[in-house]
Structure 1
Amino acid sequence: MKISTIKYFILDSLKSLKRNRTISLASVATVAATLFILGVFLLAMLDVKVLVKDVESRVEIRVFLNNDITIAQEKDLGKKLKGMNEVQSVTYETKNQAMDKFKDQIGENNKALVEGLDKDNPLPNAFVVKVKTPEMVASVVNNIKDAKGIYEIQDGRKIVDKIIAITKTIKWVGMVLFAILIGVSLFLIGNTIKITVYSRRKEIGIMKYIGATDWFIRWPFIIEGMIIGIAGSIIGCIALYYSYNIVYTKAASSLFLGQLISPKYVLTTISWEFLLVGLLIGSIGSILSMRKFLAV
């Protein structure tokens, strides 16, 4: 394709966008909204995924022991835990160590709450068990639940299960909303192109009569759709970056949300994905809207 021909296609597309600026702007706004919502759910999924991995790495089984457990029972239980294939490590935590850890967790300002507990420590001794994967927790618990000398067994499976359920919900809601907005974007871009084509139907008929190919006629409209898609993707990306940056800044001070995806990810990765999706939406919308009018 010659440079002069490409230049003609681009100039023709820009003229068409100017003539139909209102509906073109509506199409750009719809593409931007579509990609913005897609980006919100994509970032939410990535953040939840990071959070799940962080939680999974901290999943451990705490086997609290009775105060009257015998030394033999304690040794047998420790040996049994260390001999399991699912177990990565086993640490024995005394009640004094547990109390020191508890004091560190509540902080200096709240140490008055535990004054006097050093002399009459209510916390039990425990085995802290780390498993190779969270899925192995149930197997380990089932193998030791009937062992003698155990007061209580705690594990983090409920937390992981809740986070996985949230992840699935976000995924399905995001997919449904994205599908709806993609349909709306294609409809608006298609209508933009249809209006342009309809106003130039006689010109298209003459072009076909003198031997212009379908693709020669199509290209200005495809480029028009692509420009709408690119403009929408840029606006959507900018809106997503600044919105997410606000959320990230506010959450940065929180220990629980300290592992959020950096806002730079929007510019370095999501921006290119937005441009690609915007191009596809614009070009597909244009191609679909042209089929009827090329039958002249």
Structure 2
Amino acid sequence: MKINTVRRHLRESFKSLGRNGWMMFASASAVTITLLLVGVFFVIILNMNKFASDIENDVEIRVHIDLTAKEADREQLKSQIEQIGQVKSIKFSSKQQELRDLIKTMGNDFKLFQQDNPLYDVYIVKTKQPTDTPKVAQKIQKMDHVESAIYGKGKVESLFHVLSISRNVGLVLIIALLLTAMFLISNTIKITIFARRKEIEIMKLVGATNWFIRWPFLLEGLWLGILGSILPILIISSGYFYLYRLVAPRLHNQFIQLLHYGPLIYGIDGLLLLMGVFIGIWGSSMSIRRYLKV
């Protein structure tokens, strides 16, 4: 494509935006509203997924070692647990440490047990995949010198089931919202192009090629996508910035955390810009196709 032709297409696309100001405003508004909804939904879903991952990673197996087990028995048990393929890490906590943690959590009343500590030495086991926790706990429970392998049986399985459903529902909703956005924006742009069908027909009748006609409309879709994505990017960036400053300190030292501002927002901003450009160009391309058949 020649430089002069490129300049002509760019010039015509900008002129068209000015001539059809209200229709362009309607199209850009449709892009803005849709991308704003998509962006907000992405922020919510990604943080929910982060919460789910934090909860899953907090699941652990507490292996209570038999009170009669000697040090050699404990080492042998540790070796057996490490040989389980799904095990990620194993940490030893003595009964003295367990009592200190209990006093710190529950209060000084439990200092009475310092003279005669009734607690167990414990191995704290984490699996590579949190969903493997029940299977690993069952294997450990059958080993020698194991009093019990506790992981929250029943509750953990229910938790994993709920988290799995939440992720699947979130994915379906995102896809549905994106398809709805493309449909709405395509129809809005189609109305814009319908108002200019005579212009397209005249250009065809005087010998213009399909791509010569199509390029200015594709560029209009590009500008509409960019314009429509600016406001959602600004709103979501500033909104999440203030939300993060408000909520993050309150979640300090908690096992669930908000996603860090920078990586999340930069990713979503780039995604919204790309989506705006893609939807604008795609909508223009789909809408103009029927009017090129003269």
Mapped to 1, the partners of 2:178 and 2:118 lie a distance apart of 53
What one-letter code is carried by the residue in structure 1 that aligns with 2:221?
A: G
Aligned partner of 1:83 in structure 2 is: 80
Aligned partner of 1:99 in structure 2 is: 99
Question: CA offsets, 1:59-105, max 9 Å, x none?
Answer: 32102356xx4236x8657624421422444444333311322344x
Q: 2:273 aligns with which of 272, 275, 278?
A: 275
User: Does the CA contact (< 8 Å) of 1:241 and 1:266 recur in 2?
Assistant: no
Offset of residue 269 of structure 1: 3.1
3-state SS in 2 of match to 1:153:
strand
Mapped to 1, the partners of 2:212 and 2:265 lie a distance apart of 35
Offset of residue 231 of structure 1: 0.8
Question: CA offsets, 1:106-164, max 9 Å, x none?
Answer: 4xxx7456564545656444332233443442332222334577554322644555434
3-state SS in 1 of match to 2:63:
strand
Aligned partner of 2:169 in structure 1 is: 169
Q: 2:133 aligns with which of 107, 131, 137?
A: 137
User: Does the CA contact (< 8 Å) of 1:99 and 1:121 recur in 2?
Assistant: yes
Aligned partner of 2:289 in structure 1 is: 291
What is the identity percentage for the equivalent residue pairs of Structure 1 and Structure 2? 31
User: Does the CA contact (< 8 Å) of 1:237 and 1:266 recur in 2?
Assistant: no
Q: 1:232 aligns with which of 212, 228, 235?
A: 228
Mapped to 2, the partners of 1:243 and 1:271 lie a distance apart of 13
Higher alpha-carbon deviation: 216-225 or 204-213: 204-213
Mapped to 1, the partners of 2:128 and 2:139 lie a distance apart of 16
Offset of residue 12 of structure 1: 2.7
Aligned partner of 2:11 in structure 1 is: 11
CA root-mean-square deviation? 3.2
Offset of residue 215 of structure 1: 1.6
User: Does the CA contact (< 8 Å) of 1:43 and 1:261 recur in 2?
Assistant: no
CA spacing shift, 1:2–1:146, aligned 2, 3 Å: closer
* Residues paired across the two proteins, number: 285
Tell me, which stretches of 5 or more residues in structure 2 are unaligned? none
3-state SS in 2 of match to 1:96:
helix
Offset of residue 265 of structure 1: 2.8
What one-letter code is carried by the residue in structure 2 that aligns with 1:19?
A: R
Mapped to 2, the partners of 1:88 and 1:267 lie a distance apart of 32
Normalized against structure 2, the TM-score is what?
0.80
Normalized against structure 1, the TM-score is what?
0.79
Aligned partner of 1:244 in structure 2 is: 240
CA spacing shift, 1:111–1:214, aligned 2, 3 Å: same
Aligned partner of 1:62 in structure 2 is: 62
User: Does the CA contact (< 8 Å) of 2:103 and 2:111 recur in 1?
Assistant: no
Alignment of 1:3-42 (within 5 A): 3-42=3-42
